[in-house]
């Protein structure tokens, strides 16, 4: 009797876009898994989580939610009271507690240099948007990615609103308290210090943590095999 496997839903974070998962998608599809890479709006935590919930509803079956960076905020909120979500996988991602924001968590431990690399500009609808300066992108976001590829990533990065990064997690009990979680983290992440990643994983009671030596924040691009392996660990655990 065959085991019905969940769909993998990939949620990118700030300063990235869905194509950042391409290498991971190739490896997951090679394992006969269905995969959806969501175009995260990056407008606000509640809005972004609602969009991901709509994607999950459209799939109409069980899913494993995978978030990168700010995408960890989004999957934590989107998974709340959602019976379709079997597992959470955090890839260099925030795993917030009630009331915590990405902005707050990025400063919880020393080591992030993201603020020095950002450009902030106002938008007509109100508030500000943030992008990483293209001349800073390679070093800040994707130091272990070839320079030419990093330049393309810099040019196609999606801006994030200041609101999204400062919105606190509204749910009283984060989804990782009741849904099993896995972590794939980098020890050379300049956006979110590795000490923060280790803290998130320990606090969440992670089933397993993969730490990639020398990995940058762009782990899904530079080390897709490691990221895919972490996701497959989760799929195997919840499919048996």
Residue 89 DSSP SS3: strand
Q: Give the active site residue among 69, 112, 181, 222.
A: 69
CA distance 173 to 152: 39
CA distance 192 to 84: 29
CA distance 236 to 240: 6
CA distance 65 to 152: 26
CA distance 112 to 227: 22
What number of other Cβ atoms are within 10 A of residue 231's Cβ?
A: 25
| 129 close to 159: Cβ distance less than 8 angstroms | yes
Asked about 222 being catalytic, the answer comes back as no
Residues with a catalytic annotation lie at 69
């Amino acid at each position: 009797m065959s085991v019905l496997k969940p769909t993998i839903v990939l949620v990118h974070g700030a300063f990235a876009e869905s194509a950042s998962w391409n290498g991971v998608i190739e490896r997951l599809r090679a394992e006969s898994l269905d995969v959806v890479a969501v175009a995260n709006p990056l407008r606000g935590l509640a809005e972004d989580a609602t969009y991901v919930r709509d994607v999950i509803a459209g799939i109409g079956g069980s899913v494993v939610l995978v978030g990168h960076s700010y995408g960890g905020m989004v999957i934590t909120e989107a998974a709340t009271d959602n019976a379709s979500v079997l597992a959470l996988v955090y890839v260099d991602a925030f795993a917030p507690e009630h009331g915590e924001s990405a902005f707050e968590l990025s400063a919880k431990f020393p080591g992030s240099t993201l603020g020095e690399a950002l450009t902030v500009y106002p938008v007509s609808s109100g508030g500000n948007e943030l992008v990483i300066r293209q001349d800073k992108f390679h070093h800040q976001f994707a130091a272990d990615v070839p320079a030419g590829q990093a330049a393309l990533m810099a040019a196609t990065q999606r801006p994030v609103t200041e609101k999204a990064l400062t919105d606190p997690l509204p749910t009283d009990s984060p989804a990782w308290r009741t849904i099993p979680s896995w972590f794939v983290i980098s020890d050379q992440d300049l956006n979110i210090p590795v000490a923060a990643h280790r803290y998130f994983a320990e606090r969440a009671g992670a089933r397993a943590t993969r730490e990639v030596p020398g990995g940058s924040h762009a782990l899904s691009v530079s080390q897709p095999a490691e990221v895919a392996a972490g996701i497959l660990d989760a799929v195997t655990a919840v499919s048996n």
